[in-house]
């Protein structure tokens, strides 16, 4: 089987490696200042948020603990979510009384996060805020208060830096848009 170079499928780099690096440093500095004197629990949602979480935690100078959840939406396609969310991996420790920051890769319709926020609030954290690397406001269906935002992007399906298409392209070090023939198979 011929496995092509991933980068050959990319039509355009939307956000480059250096731009991501700078933004992560900026967010880390803001979080370190905002939560100074406290200890932060970062809750990341697998798998797409993995690179962002790994980089962001190293840009934060106050003590943090981390936890990971994995959710999947029922009935969606490779490029659309359905809003019905199933928890595949739950938190491994209690967040009761803790300052929690949800670390997300991208907020699109907001349906996944809306579900997750309600779920996490039910666990009685001291505070709950949201940090997303990418925000695609054009397709928002539910209002989500975003406390920390990396980049606002247009209504395009993006891959790379954790984000996949059919589980591929997560390892691209930048955020890009695929060539139309990759989606269409034409
Ligand atoms: P939402 O529930 O906000 O519509 O979507 C949340 C999830 O859909 C994201 O965590 C991500 O997994 C997926 N998603 C939304 N937009 C994109 C996109 O442009 N590219 C990729 N690869 N995944 C996306």
Q: What is the pLDDT of residues 139-159, one digit of tens each?
A: 999 999 999 999 999 999 999
For residue 45, which phi and psi values (nearest 5 degrees)? -110, 115
Question: How confident is the model over 87-102, as a mean pLDDT?
Answer: 97
34 CA to centre of ligand 1 in angstroms: 27
Which residues are annotated as catalytic?
108
**Domains, the chain, ranges and CATH?**
4-177 (3.40.50.2020)
CA dihedral 85, 90, 93, 96 (to 10 degrees): 20
Atom 16 of ligand 1, nearest CA residue: 108
Q: Please state the atom number of ligand 1 nearest to the C-alpha of residue 136.
A: 16
Task: Average the pLDDT over each of 79-83, 84-88, 112-116 and give the range with the smallest value.
Answer: 79-83
CA of 123 to the centre of ligand 1 (A): 25
Contact 44, 66 (CB under 8 A): yes
How does pLDDT run across 1-13, given as a tens digit for each residue? 555 688 899 999 9
Q: What is the pLDDT of residues 36-85, one digit of tens each?
A: 999 999 999 999 999 999 999 999 999 999 999 999 876 656 666 666 78
């Amino acid at each position: 089987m011929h496995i092509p170079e991933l980068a050959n499928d990319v039509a355009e780099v939307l956000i480059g490696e250096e731009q991501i690096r700078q933004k992560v440093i900026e967010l880390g500095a803001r979080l370190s200042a905002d939560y100074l004197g406290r200890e932060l629990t970062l809750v990341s949602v697998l798998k797409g948020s993995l690179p962002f979480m790994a980089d962001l935690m190293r840009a934060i100078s106050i003590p943090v603990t981390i936890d990971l959840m994995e959710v999947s939406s029922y009935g969606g396609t490779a490029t659309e979510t359905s809003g019905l969310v199933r928890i595949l991996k739950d938190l491994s420790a209690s967040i009761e009384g803790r300052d929690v920051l949800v670390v997300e890769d991208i907020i699109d319709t907001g349906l996944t996060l809306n579900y997750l926020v309600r779920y996490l609030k039910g666990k009685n954290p001291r505070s709950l805020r949201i940090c997303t690397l990418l925000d695609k406001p054009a397709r928002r269906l539910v209002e989500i208060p975003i406390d920390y935002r990396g980049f606002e992007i247009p209504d395009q399906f993006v891959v790379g830096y954790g984000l996949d298409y059919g589980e591929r392209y997560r390892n691209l070090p930048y955020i890009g848009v695929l060539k139309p023939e990759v989606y269409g198979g034409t």
